[in-house]
Every structure is written in C-alpha cells, then in structure tokens.
Amino acid sequence: MAKIIGGLGTSHIPAIGGAIHKGLQQDPYWKPFFDGFPPIHEWLKAQKPDVMVIFYNDHGLNFFLDKMPTFAVGAAPQYVNSDEGWGIPSLEPLRGEVDLSWQIINHLVDKEFDVTTCQELLVDHACSLPLKLFYPEGNYPVTVVPVCINTVQFPLPKAHRVYAFGRAVGEAVAAWDSSKKVAFIASGGLSHQLEGTRAGFINKDFDLKFMESLLSNPEWATQFSIHELVEKTGTQGIELLAWLAMRAALTVGDQPGVRKVHSNYHIPISNTATGLLALEKVS
C-alpha cells in the first residue's frame, strides 16, 4: 500500500511568481516570506515523496463562474499552467499520477462525494506555485493529483463537509496499491480579502489559532459556518478550506497523529497573510 508521509500548507499569491521570476528572494519585502522555505526543502530532500495530492481552488483559469464544480479531481497525464493575466510567466507543467487519480475518484464517488472528473485541466497559480516554492530548482521530482475545492462562488461547501472530503481522499490514498510515498499539499489562505469595503482585511489572531488547531484539534474550524469563516478570514481567506482538507487526509489509518516539522507566518505579501506549515505523519 502507498505510504502517506505528511502534509504541507502554503499560501499562493500571483506576485510570488513575479518575485521568483525577478530573483527578489533576498529583497527586504520578500525575504521573511522566502526564508520560511529552506526547512521544507530539507524535509522534502529527506522524505523524497513520489506523489503530491494538491488541495487548491481555481480562480477562473479552468473553471469560470458559468460552470463551477464544488469538488473536482484531475485525472490527466499532464497539467499545464497558463497565463492568468497577472503578468507572470507560466510555470512548468505538472506530471499527473493517473492511476492514483482514478483511485481517489472511485473512492470519493463510493463515499457519496459526486466529484467532477477532469481528464483535461489547466492549473492556475494556486496549483502550480506551491511546487515552485517547494522545488525552486524546477524539474519537479513528483507527480501530482490536483483536487480542486470551490472557494470562489457561492454556495461553498461547509468546513465540516470539506473535512469529510479530505478524509475520504486520505482513505483513497492509504488504500492505493502502490509502493509510492505520497504527501498532501494545501494551497490557499490565510486571511485575506481582495475586494469590497474590507479589502486588505487580515486577522492574525484567527490565523495563528487556526494553524495551531491543525496540530492540537484538527476539527476545530469545522465548528464555524462558511459565513462565519468569511467574516473571520475575509472573502479569500476562506481558501483555508484547503488546509482543512489536507489535515483531514492525514487522519487516516491507525495512527492519526502528526508532528510539526516547521511553520512560518508573515504579513503581508500583497494583500495576504501568508502561512506555511509542514506536518509529518507519525507512524
């Protein structure tokens, strides 16, 4: 059976792609953000995952407002990044892990999560940037399964539902007949709001409580309704649903425990409170 090694959570912001492109990692504005990543690089070098299952939200590159699946799973041999209009260069395509995609899709449907299956899928900054941050040298040594959760157009799935969904994805991976090592990625959050009268809204207290809860009480955030979470984290802060799915995916098996490898929190990058977290599954 496949081995689940852990999970990584990171914020995604198009401007990060621009900073990488311009080599600004040591610039005083960017340094506190990029300085969070070397411990993750070390962990990945030691753990050597083969596959990453990426929980993220699409922002209108592949799914637009006319067709918006609540949950979608990629089942393609390759996922291409494309111009999203942010003026940043496209990142390299991601290689798919098709066998695991179908394992996850079959298990999810069996568990009554009626997902959209995507044999073609463009991936935006939310799916492509984390890999560039985790493997800055490029030529990524992992294949991927993108798992997209709608956080952009109401109605959004409840936190409680996303937690159950993430757990079902974890079950599917744990039952995958493969000797490969799998890590989960959560891409999104933490608190931010890009538009309206609360544009620029950030909630450090809530963000830190949320990050801590993923260690001590992973279901903590499921007590809140979507509207409460938007109120606490902003209209885009609700992207934290991806982190909840990632954490839930780590609860499968006899040993639901995780240990914290590393975390970082820095305000702001663009309009966003950035979080970074690496959790290793305790076996």
For the annotated catalytic residues, the residue numbers are 125, 192
* C-beta closer to ligand DHB: residue 25 or 270: 270
Alpha-carbon gap, residue 97 to 179, rounded angstroms: 13
* C-beta closer to ligand DHB: residue 113 or 201: 201
Instruction: Write a three-state SS string for the chain.
Output: CCEEEEEEEECCCHHHHHHHHHCCCCCCCCHHHHCCCHHHHHHHHHHCCCEEEEEECCCCCCCCCCCCCCEEEECCCEEEECCCCCCCCCCCCEEECHHHHHHHHHHHHHCCCCCEEECCCEECHHHHHHHHHHCCCCCCCCEEEEEEECCCCCCCCCHHHHHHHHHHHHHHHHCCCCCCEEEEEEECCCCCCCCCCCCCCCCHHHHHHHHHHHHHCCCHHHHCCHHHHHHHHCCCHHHHHHHHHHHHHCCCCCCCCEEEEEEEEEEEECCEEEEEEEEEECC
Positions touching ligand DHB (CB under 6 A) are: 12-15, 59, 192, 194, 236, 239, 270-272
User: Min. distance of Cβ 168 from ligand DHB in angstroms?
Assistant: 25
Is residue 250 classed exposed, middle or buried when 0-12, 13-18 and 19+ CB atoms within 10 A define those classes?
buried
Six token digits for residue 131: 């890999």
* C-beta closer to ligand DHB: residue 195 or 212: 195
Alpha-carbon gap, residue 58 to 256, rounded angstroms: 29
User: Min. distance of Cβ 117 from ligand DHB in angstroms?
Assistant: 24
* Cα-based angle 142, 260, 20 (whole degrees, multiple of 5): 50
User: Min. distance of Cβ 47 from ligand DHB in angstroms?
Assistant: 27
Q: Which residue's Cβ lies closest to ligand DHB?
A: 270
User: Min. distance of Cβ 193 from ligand DHB in angstroms?
Assistant: 9
* C-beta closer to ligand DHB: residue 13 or 246: 13
* C-beta closer to ligand DHB: residue 50 or 239: 239
User: Min. distance of Cβ 236 from ligand DHB in angstroms?
Assistant: 5
User: Min. distance of Cβ 271 from ligand DHB in angstroms?
Assistant: 4
* C-beta closer to ligand DHB: residue 31 or 260: 31
Task: Name the residue with tokens 């992973």.
Answer: 218
